[in-house]
Structure 1
Amino acid sequence: MRPLLSVDNLSIAFGNGTPVVRNVSFEVKPGETLALVGESGSGKTVTCRSVLRILPRAARLHSGTIMLNGSGGPQELTALSERQMRNVRGNAISMIFQEPMHSLSPLHRIGNQVSEVLWLHGRMREAAARKIVLECFERVGFPDPERAYRSYPFELSGGMRQRAMIAMAMVAKPDLLIADEPTTALDVTTQAQVLGLMKELQRDTGMAMILVTHDLGVVANMAEQVVVMHKGGVMESGPAEPLLRAPAHAYTQQLFDAAPAIPAQPKMAPELPQDDLILQLKSVSKTYTMRAGKSWQAESEIQACRGVDFALQRGKTLAIVGESGSGKTTAARIALGAELPDKGGEVLFRATAQSQAIAVHQLSRAARTAFQREAQMVFQDPYSSLSPRMRILDALCEPLEIHGIGSKSERRERAEQMLRLVGLGPDMLLRYPHAFSGGQRQRLSIARALMLGPSLLVCDEPTSALDVSVQEQILRLLEEIQERETLSYLFISHDLAVVARIADEVAVMRGGLVVEQAPPGTLFHNPKHPYTKALIAAQPEPDIDRPIDLKLVASGAGSPDCWPENFRFSDSMIPSLVQVEPGHKVRCHV
C-alpha cells in the first residue's frame, strides 16, 4: 500500500545554529497510527509542524522532502506555495495542539470557532455546520453540547477546552490527523473515551494519525508504528508490538523505567492520627450562577461542590482525583480562601499543632494576607504562572516584597536557597522563564511557592504537562521537600499512577461529590464505586497485552443512571458517604 505521508531525511535548524532535527525519516499509511515518542526538546513537535509548514520564521529546512499522497493526488509539501498549503491545512491535514488556550480565540464562542472549519473548507451554511458541530461535541464527551457551543474558552475547564480542540481538528474528517499531546490535559476516563473515538473515526474514514506523546500507555493502546526520538534524532523505530515488548535502545528502555504505574502490591499506609489536622473542609458546597445565552432567558445555577468533607493530616498528602469539572480545583480554591463556600460550609486551618484553628472562610483582608504566608499553590501550567517579563530573581522575591519580609540582600539569599532546594543553581536568577525547559519551569514554580515558608502546599496537576522522566524528578523533589520541611500537600491530579505513589489518602470526586475515599493501597486494590473502577480501568499501561477496557470505562464514567441501583444519585436524592471498612468510605445507599 502506498504511504499517505512520507518524510525523508528531514533536517531543521534555527537561524545559523546546528540542526535541532537531524535526518528524520518515517512513513504513515492510510488508516494507520504512528506514534512519535520522546521527551520535551527531542524534536517531535518541530517535525510535525514542518509537515503543515507552520514553523517559526527563524526555522529553516536543511534537507529532506515531505510527500503527501492524499485525495488531491501526490504533493510535495515543501514545494507548495502558501496559497496551496492553505487548502492542505484543515482539509487534508489537521492538527490538535497541546495548549488549547493559546490556540482558541478568547473573543469568539467555541461553537463559532469549530464551525469556522466547515464554513471555510466545506462551504456549509451556518445551520448545517451547527448540526454537525453539535454531533461532534457529543462524540468528544461534552456533557451539554449546546452550552459548550455558546461558551467562550475562558468559561470552560482545561479538559473541556482540549475537547473543543479535538472536535475542531476532526470535524472536517481530514486524511491525516496530527495530534500533539492531545490528551495531556484530560482526565483518564475522558482520555480513554477520546482515544476510542479517534480509533473509531479511523475505522469510519480511513484517516491516518501521527500521535505525538510521552505516554507509553497511550502508545500501547493506539499505535501500529513507533518512532522514538531523542535530541533531534531517531533512536529506534518499527512496528509497535515488538518494540514495546523488547525495546532495543537504552533510551527507549529508560522511558519505560520512568513510566509511572499503579503498583501491583498495595502500599498499606499506617493508620493516621486524627488529632493533628492542618486543614478541614466541613459541609463545603459552592454554587455558581451561569448567565443565559439570550437576554430573555433565566440564569442557571451550577453546583461545583456539594457537601465536601476533607481532613488533611499535618505532614501528609491528601490527593483529590476525578474528571475535569468534578469540583477538584474549586475545592482547592475554597481551601486557600480564593473562593468562599456557600452558607453553612466551613474551612478550618491550623498553622501549627498548638495553634487555634482559624476560619478561612471568615477572614478579613489583613488576616487573609497573613494566612497566605502559610498556604501556597503550585499551578498546572508553570509558563502561565511565571511572568514572561520578570527575571527569575524578581519572580521569586515578589512574594517577600508583598509581605514586607527581609532586605534586598536577604530576599536574594532566600531565592538562592530555594533554587538549591529544587535542584537549580543560583546562576539562573537573572534569566527569564522562556530560557528554561518545562520541567525546570515547574521547579521554579515550586521554589516560588516555598519562598514564604508555607506549611500547606496545594498542587494543582503539577506534573500533567511533563514527560515521564521529568515527572519522576518532580515527584521525587516533592517527596524530599515534604520530608525535609514537614509540608502538607493537597494534591490534585487525574493521573492515578502519580497519586498511587505520592498520596497517603485519596478522595475520588464526581459531579461535585466525593464518591469514594480511602488510603491508596485500599482504593486501588479494592475499589467499590463504579466510577472509581472506571478511573482505574482507564489508566493506560505501557503493556500491549493490557488494552483499556472501554466498556468498563463507559459504564463507570457515564451517567449515574447507568450505575448499579445502590450507587445512583440525582440532584434531589444523594446517598451518604458510608464507611464500608476502617478508613474506606463509599457514597452509596445502605
Structure 2
Amino acid sequence: MAPLLEVNDLSIGFGNGPSVVDGVSFALNAGETLALVGESGSGKTLSCRSVLRLLPDAAQMRGGSIRFNGAEGAVNLLSLPEKKMRAIRGDRISMIFQEPMRSLSPLHRLGDQVAEVLRLHRNMGRTAAKRAVLEQFEKVGFVDPLRAWKSYPFEMSGGMRQRAMIAMAMVAKPELLIADEPTTALDVTTQAQVLGLIRSLQAETGMGVILVTHDLGVVANMAQRVVVMNKGRVMERGDAQEVLGSPAHPYTAKLFAAAPMIPAVAAPAPASTKPAEDVILDLRDVSKTYTMRAGGWRKPVSVSACQHVDLHLPRGKTLAIVGESGSGKTTCARIAMGAERPDAGGEVLFRPDPAAAPLAVHDLSPTERTAFQRQAQMVFQDPYSSLSPRMRVQQALTEPMEVHNIGTARDRREKAAEMLRWVGLNPDMLGRFPHAFSGGQRQRLSIARALTLDPKLLICDEPTSALDVSVQEQILTLLEDIRDRANLSYLFISHDLAVVARIADEVAVMRAGVIVEQAPPDTLFYNPQHPYTRALIAAQPEPDISRPIDLDLVAKGAGSPMLWPEQFRFEGHHAPALRELEPGHKVRCHA
C-alpha cells in the first residue's frame, strides 16, 4: 500500500544562497505519526509548509516532489493548480501553526474562525457548525466552550489561543495533520490531553500526523518514526524505538543530553522553620477580578483570575509559579509589576534594599514609580513580539536608558555592548534588526534589554517555552549565571516542572487562580500531596518510549475539583485553606 505522503529529495533556497532545505526525503503512512525533530533553523517548518505550499514569496523550490495519496486519489502537491490546492488546505490536510496570535484574525471571534472551516469545506449551516465547534472546544480543554466561542484572540492567554488553533485544524477531521510545535505554548496537563486527543482521532479516522517538535518527551509518547534534521539536512531517521533508544548520530545524542527532565529526588529539602528576613517582593492577599462584556442586553460576567495569593520572594532567590494556562500566573506577575491593580484588600510590597522601608507598588507617586520600574524588569514569553521590528538592536537596548536619563549616548552604547557580551552575543550585532536573529538569540536580546537598567528584580514570564531544548538549556544556564553574578531576584513563571526543578528555590503550584501547593523543588518532587501537582508531574513527557504519559492520572488531577479526593475537594470558588502540613510544605486541603 502506498504511503499517505511521500516527500522526495526536497530542496528549498532563498536568493543566491545555498539551499536551506537540502535533499530532504521522508514518507508517512495513514494512521502513523512521524516526528520531525531538530533545533530552530533546521528546516523542519519550511519542509512542512512546502506540503501546503505556504512558503514565503522569496522562497525557491529548487527540486523534489511531494505526493499525497489521499482518499480521492494520488496527486503531486507541487504541480497541483491553486484552486484544487485551496480545496485540500484546511480540509484533507490541516496544519497547526506554532504562533497562534499571528495565525488567528484579531478582528473575528474564535468560534467564527473555527466554524469557517466547516462552512467552507463541509457546507455546514451556522447551527450545525457551532455545535461541532463547541464539541471540539471541549475536547481541547476549554472549561467554558461557549465563552471561548464568543471571545476574541486578544482576550485569551497564549495557551488558550493555541487550543483554538488546534481545534481549527482538527474540527474537519483531516486525512493528514501537520502539527508545528502544537504544544509549545501549552501547560503539560493540557499537552497530555491534546496528545491523547490526536491519538484518539488517529484511531477513529486513520489520520496521518507529521509532528514538528523539539520536545523529545512528546516524540517518545507520539511517534512511530523519527526524522532528525540539522541545518536543512536529515541527520538520522528510523523507528522511534531505535532512534530514541540508541541514537546513532552525535547530533541526536546532543539533543538528548539537553532535554530537561524532572529529577529523581531521594530525600525532601531540609526543613526550615525560620522565615526569610530579607524579602524583596511581597504579595499579600492578592486577588484580581475582571468584568467581561456579555454582549447584547445581558449582564457583564465577572471572572476571577486569582484569589488570595500570598507570595514572598527572598532577595537573591528564585520563586517559581507553575500552573496551566489560565491559572492566574501571568496575572500575578502583572500585579507584581504594577501593571494591574489588585482587588481591594490586596497589596504588593517591594523592598529595593535590605535596610529600606517597603514600598507599596500600587500607591507610588509618579517619581517613585519611575524608580521602581528601573529596579524591576520583565522578560516576556514571546521573543518575536517583545522587540520592535523597526528598531535596531542598539536602539532597543539603549531606549530604556534614554527613558530613565542614564548616561551619555556613548555610555549607553557601551552598556548595550556589555549586556550583549553578558548574554553571549557579539557587540558587532548592535546594528542588526531583530528579524536577523533566531528565536533563542531574540530571547537573549530580551534578557539583555531588561538588564541594561541594572535591575534588582527580574520577572520572567515563560522565558524558555518557545525555545528548542538546546537553546533552552543555554538560556537557563545564562539566567542562573546572571542571578549569581548580579545578586538578582527572579519571579519565574512557567508551566514546565522540569525547567522549574532546574532553576527555582521555591515552587508555588497554581490552579484556577489559587495556590494549591507550595514547597522547595526537592520536597515537591519527593512528596507531592495535591492531586493537581501529581497530575503535573505525571504529565511531564520523558524521552523514554517505555514510560508513556499516564493519561488517567493526568485526567484525575487536571479535572474538576469536585472529582478530587475528599481531602482536597471543593465546589466553585470555595477552596479550602492553604495549610502547612510540614515545615516549608503548604497544601490547600481540608483540616
TM-score interval, smaller chain: over 0.9
Encode CA deviations 1:78-134: one digit per residue, 9 max, x unaligned.
111111111111121100000000000000010000010011100111111111111
Q: How many residues align?
A: 589
Partner of 1:206: 206
Query: Using the alignment, how far apart are the partners of 2:414 and 2:46 within structure 1?
Result: 39
Contact 2:37-2:229 at 8 Å conserved across structures: yes
Secondary structure in structure 2 of the residue aligned to 1:297: coil
Secondary structure in structure 1 of the residue aligned to 2:119: helix
- Within a 5 Å distance, the mapping from 1:278-427 to structure 2 comes to 278-293=280-295, 295-427=296-428
Query: Using the alignment, how far apart are the partners of 1:269 and 1:452 within structure 2?
Result: 35
Compute the displacement of 1:268 (Å): 5.7
- Within a 5 Å distance, the mapping from 1:486-525 to structure 2 comes to 486-525=487-526
- Within a 5 Å distance, the mapping from 1:243-258 to structure 2 comes to 243-258=243-258
Partner of 2:471: 470
In the superposition, relative to structure 1, how do residues 115 and 146 fare at CA in structure 2: closer, same or farther (>3 Å)? same
Query: Using the alignment, how far apart are the partners of 1:258 and 1:530 within structure 2?
Result: 29
Partner of 1:183: 183
Opposite residue 167 of structure 1, the aligned amino acid is A
Query: Using the alignment, how far apart are the partners of 1:417 and 1:269 within structure 2?
Result: 37
Query: Using the alignment, how far apart are the partners of 1:267 and 1:365 within structure 2?
Result: 48
Contact 2:32-2:209 at 8 Å conserved across structures: yes
Opposite residue 42 of structure 2, the aligned amino acid is S
Compute the displacement of 1:477 (Å): 0.3
Compute the displacement of 1:273 (Å): 5.2
Partner of 1:119: 119
In the superposition, relative to structure 1, how do residues 572 and 485 fare at CA in structure 2: closer, same or farther (>3 Å)? closer
Partner of 1:84: 84
In the superposition, relative to structure 1, how do residues 430 and 266 fare at CA in structure 2: closer, same or farther (>3 Å)? farther
Compute the displacement of 1:571 (Å): 3.5
Contact 1:267-1:520 at 8 Å conserved across structures: no
In the superposition, relative to structure 1, how do residues 250 and 267 fare at CA in structure 2: closer, same or farther (>3 Å)? farther
Task: Using the TM superposition, name which of 416-425 and 526-535 deviates more.
Answer: 416-425
Secondary structure in structure 2 of the residue aligned to 1:553: helix
Query: Using the alignment, how far apart are the partners of 1:566 and 1:544 within structure 2?
Result: 34
Encode CA deviations 1:17-39: one digit per residue, 9 max, x unaligned.
21111111111000000000000
Query: Using the alignment, how far apart are the partners of 1:114 and 1:572 within structure 2?
Result: 31
Query: Using the alignment, how far apart are the partners of 2:58 and 2:371 within structure 1?
Result: 47
- Within a 5 Å distance, the mapping from 1:210-221 to structure 2 comes to 210-221=210-221
Query: Using the alignment, how far apart are the partners of 2:415 and 2:116 within structure 1?
Result: 51
Query: Using the alignment, how far apart are the partners of 1:17 and 1:119 within structure 2?
Result: 42
Opposite residue 224 of structure 2, the aligned amino acid is E
Compute the displacement of 1:269 (Å): 5.1
Partner of 1:14: 14
Q: Which runs of 5+ in 1 are unaligned?
A: none
Opposite residue 72 of structure 1, the aligned amino acid is E
Q: What is the aligned-residue RMSD (CA, Å)?
A: 1.0
In the superposition, relative to structure 1, how do residues 404 and 11 fare at CA in structure 2: closer, same or farther (>3 Å)? same
Compute the displacement of 1:346 (Å): 1.2
In the superposition, relative to structure 1, how do residues 549 and 522 fare at CA in structure 2: closer, same or farther (>3 Å)? same
Opposite residue 380 of structure 1, the aligned amino acid is Q
Partner of 2:40: 40
Partner of 1:568: 569
Partner of 1:5: 5
Opposite residue 228 of structure 1, the aligned amino acid is V
Query: Using the alignment, how far apart are the partners of 2:2 and 2:74 within structure 1?
Result: 11
Task: Using the TM superposition, name which of 76-85 and 467-476 deviates more.
Answer: 76-85
Secondary structure in structure 2 of the residue aligned to 1:388: coil
Which of 266, 274, 290 in structure 1 is aligned with 2:276? 274
Contact 1:266-1:522 at 8 Å conserved across structures: no
Query: Using the alignment, how far apart are the partners of 1:584 and 1:269 within structure 2?
Result: 10
In the superposition, relative to structure 1, how do residues 368 and 196 fare at CA in structure 2: closer, same or farther (>3 Å)? same
Contact 2:219-2:543 at 8 Å conserved across structures: yes
Compute the displacement of 1:290 (Å): 0.7
Compute the displacement of 1:264 (Å): 1.2
- Within a 5 Å distance, the mapping from 1:98-247 to structure 2 comes to 98-247=98-247
Identity %: 70
Query: Using the alignment, how far apart are the partners of 1:375 and 1:269 within structure 2?
Result: 29
Query: Using the alignment, how far apart are the partners of 1:162 and 1:208 within structure 2?
Result: 20
Partner of 1:75: 75
Contact 2:578-2:588 at 8 Å conserved across structures: yes
Compute the displacement of 1:364 (Å): 2.2
Partner of 2:24: 24
Encode CA deviations 1:377-412: one digit per residue, 9 max, x unaligned.
000011111000001111111111111111111111
Compute the displacement of 1:566 (Å): 1.3
Contact 2:267-2:526 at 8 Å conserved across structures: no
Query: Using the alignment, how far apart are the partners of 2:311 and 2:404 within structure 1?
Result: 29
Compute the displacement of 1:266 (Å): 5.1
Secondary structure in structure 1 of the residue aligned to 2:309: strand
Query: Using the alignment, how far apart are the partners of 2:457 and 2:269 within structure 1?
Result: 21
In the superposition, relative to structure 1, how do residues 91 and 572 fare at CA in structure 2: closer, same or farther (>3 Å)? closer
Compute the displacement of 1:154 (Å): 0.4
Compute the displacement of 1:175 (Å): 0.5
In the superposition, relative to structure 1, how do residues 393 and 282 fare at CA in structure 2: closer, same or farther (>3 Å)? same
Contact 2:268-2:527 at 8 Å conserved across structures: no
- Indicate whether 1:455 and 2:459 are aligned: no
Secondary structure in structure 1 of the residue aligned to 2:412: helix
Opposite residue 327 of structure 1, the aligned amino acid is G
Opposite residue 198 of structure 1, the aligned amino acid is I
Q: Which runs of 4+ in 1 moved over 3 A?
A: 266-273
Query: Using the alignment, how far apart are the partners of 1:477 and 1:327 within structure 2?
Result: 27
Opposite residue 91 of structure 1, the aligned amino acid is D
Query: Using the alignment, how far apart are the partners of 1:490 and 1:570 within structure 2?
Result: 30
Query: Using the alignment, how far apart are the partners of 1:75 and 1:326 within structure 2?
Result: 46
Query: Using the alignment, how far apart are the partners of 2:72 and 2:449 within structure 1?
Result: 53
Query: Using the alignment, how far apart are the partners of 1:403 and 1:444 within structure 2?
Result: 19
Opposite residue 238 of structure 1, the aligned amino acid is G
Query: Using the alignment, how far apart are the partners of 2:413 and 2:297 within structure 1?
Result: 56
Query: Using the alignment, how far apart are the partners of 1:278 and 1:553 within structure 2?
Result: 35
Query: Using the alignment, how far apart are the partners of 1:55 and 1:469 within structure 2?
Result: 26
Contact 1:336-1:375 at 8 Å conserved across structures: yes
Contact 1:289-1:299 at 8 Å conserved across structures: yes
Contact 2:462-2:493 at 8 Å conserved across structures: yes
TM-score by length of 1: 0.99
